[in-house]
């Protein structure tokens, strides 16, 4: 199967880039059996709303993963309990709304998806290694994609090594800067430290430079504004052997959406 994973869709420029460029990607890189996107920044950089979720499903997403920002819009927390195709990180404590993994079937193919969050320079939650291990046991799927939403490159590499051969792909999100280390590891797991961001690439990881800089210069809280210029769509295309679940290839997507 072929899976398209799209990196953090950021605000309106990101949503527009995803919807606008998916048809071109389908013809140049597809067809895709599954389109998975990280949606935690879809609502002006902070979380999700029900209407934006519907917009992104209508634009072509099959499954959405998220991260620490998925809690930013209070009204969306309930949606996480209702909509099985939108995941939040699996390693939040028991009792947290929503779910962190799921089994998705399309055109006779089944893909397990796990969303998990790092702990280095992130809020202290449960162990991502053990939580992923438990999710894999419950899923029992041959083909599994893991979105590891984490800040530190070392934590992401360590997760990829630990799960090499146990999942089809482990892709990093959250830093919004696409890394150039996409590779199939020796055990057959496709890995990239960070898939990048779908949104404006002229600001500071999605926000206007002018709205961010006072935070750095003065240390005072700022009201961030979404940057709109130089939109790009970034992510990866992953080919998975349906029989074994091993990754065959992982290629970067990095395209102007102007
Ligand atoms: Fe994040």
The model's pLDDT over 181-231, given as tens digits with 9 standing for 90+, comes to 999 999 999 999 999 999 999 999 999 999 999 999 999 888 999 999 999
Q: For the sheet containing 190-192, what is the strand order?
A: 101-106, 109-117, 144-149, 169-173, 190-192, 183-184
Partnered with residue 198 across adjacent β-strands are: 9
pLDDT of 221 reads: 87
* Residue 138, token pair as written in the block: 């419950």
Pair of tokens at residue 81: 């309990």
Q: What is the pLDDT of residue 131?
A: 98
CA dihedral 73, 105, 17, 167 (to 10 degrees): 90
Average pLDDT, the chain: 97
Q: What is the pTM of this model?
A: 0.97
What's the confidence (pLDDT) of residue 101?
A: 98
Cα 40 to ligand 1 centroid, rounded to whole Å: 7
* Secondary structure letter of residue 167 according to DSSP: B
101-106 and 63-65 strand pairing? unpaired
Residue 173's pLDDT band (cuts 50, 70, 90):
very high
How far apart are the CA of 103 and the centre of ligand 1, in A? Answer: 23
What spacing in Å lies between the alpha carbon of 141 and ligand 1's midpoint? 26
Catalytic status, residue 149: no
CA of 41 from ligand 1 middle (Å) equals 8
pLDDT mean over 22-48: 97
**DSSP state letters, 3-31:** EEEE--B-HHHHHHHHHHHHHHHHHHH--
Q: Active site residue: 69, 149, 174, 201, which one?
A: 69
Domains, the chain, ranges and CATH? Answer: 2-256 (3.60.21.10)
DSSP string, 54-74: HHHHHHT-SEEE--GGGGSSH
């Amino acid at each position: 199967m072929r899976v398209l994973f799209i990196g953090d869709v950021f605000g309106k420029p990101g949503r527009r880039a995803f919807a606008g460029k998916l048809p071109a990607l389908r013809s140049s890189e597809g067809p895709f059996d599954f389109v998975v996107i990280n949606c935690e920044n879809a609502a002006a950089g902070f979380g999700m709303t029900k209407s934006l979720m519907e917009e992104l499903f209508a634009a072509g997403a099959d499954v959405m993963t998220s991260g620490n920002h998925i809690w930013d819009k209070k009204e969306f927390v309930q949606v996480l309990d209702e909509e099985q195709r939108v995941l939040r990180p699996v390693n939040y404590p028991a009792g947290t709304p929503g779910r962190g993994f799921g089994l998705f079937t399309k055109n006779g193919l089944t893909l397990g998806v796990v969303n998990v969050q790092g702990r280095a320079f992130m809020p202290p939650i449960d162990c991502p290694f053990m939580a992923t291990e438990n999710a894999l046991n419950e899923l029992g799927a041959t083909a599994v994609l893991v979105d590891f939403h984490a800040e530190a490159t070392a934590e992401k590499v360590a997760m990829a090594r630990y799960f090499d051969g146990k999942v089809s792909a482990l892709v990093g999100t959250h830093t919004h800067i696409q890394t150039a280390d996409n590779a199939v590891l020796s055990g057959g797991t496709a890995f990239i430290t960070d898939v990048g961001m779908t949104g404006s690439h002229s600001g500071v990881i999605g926000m206007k430079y002018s709205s961010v800089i006072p935070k750095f210069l003065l240390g005072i809280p700022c009201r961030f504004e979404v940057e709109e210029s130089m939109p790009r769509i970034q992510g990866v295309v992953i080919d998975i052997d349906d029989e074994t679940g091993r990754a065959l290839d992982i290629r970067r997507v990095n395209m102007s959406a102007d």
